[in-house]
Structure 1
């Protein structure tokens, strides 16, 4: 079950990341689309580009304007902790 959940996360990341030709990273636009379509019940104000941009900036540790899967994974961990009632 956990293996299939990881598989889904990987395939969704690659699908959204690949919309501009590179499936290695999420651009700002790709990240906005992913959050709005896939995480709207987990991310407050997921439809607000300013909120999503701020979220992306907080995840973009190397400040290259894109999110690697590892940077994106931080968001999944944060959302899972919040949803499960775990402190971060």
Structure 2
């Protein structure tokens, strides 16, 4: 599990650092991350409108970016669905 956490943190920082801050994902960074890394887990991963809606649902502080904790919500949701754990 440690390697999975390392991979998630490293992946987040790799995408987050492209447009500026390595602490947040911009809309474009989030779109690139989802379409490149999560396309088998997220329906319509190549649809910008669907990704905008997904990002908006995760962006709890409404700043137009996702910090790691906001992003982590998505990972938890995807893992729960993939593992067929009850919500």
Instruction: Tell me the TM-score normalized by structure 2.
Output: 0.98
Gaps of 5+ in 2: none
Higher helix share: 1
Moved over 4 A (4+): none
Q: Shift in Å at residue 87 of structure 1?
A: 2.0
Q: What residue number does 1:74 align with?
A: 73
Do residues 65 (structure 1) and 64 (structure 2) align? Answer: yes
Deviation at 1:74, TM superposition (A): 0.2
Please list the CA deviations of residues 13-40 of structure 1 after superposition, one character each: whole Å capped at 9, or x if unmatched: 0000000121000000000000000000
Q: Deviations over 1:33-78 (max 9, x none)?
A: 0000000000001000000110000000000000000000000000
Provide the aligned C-alpha RMSD in A.
0.5
Length, aligned pairs only: 87
For 1:83 and 1:50, locate their aligned partners in 2 and report how far apart those are by CA, in whole Å: 23
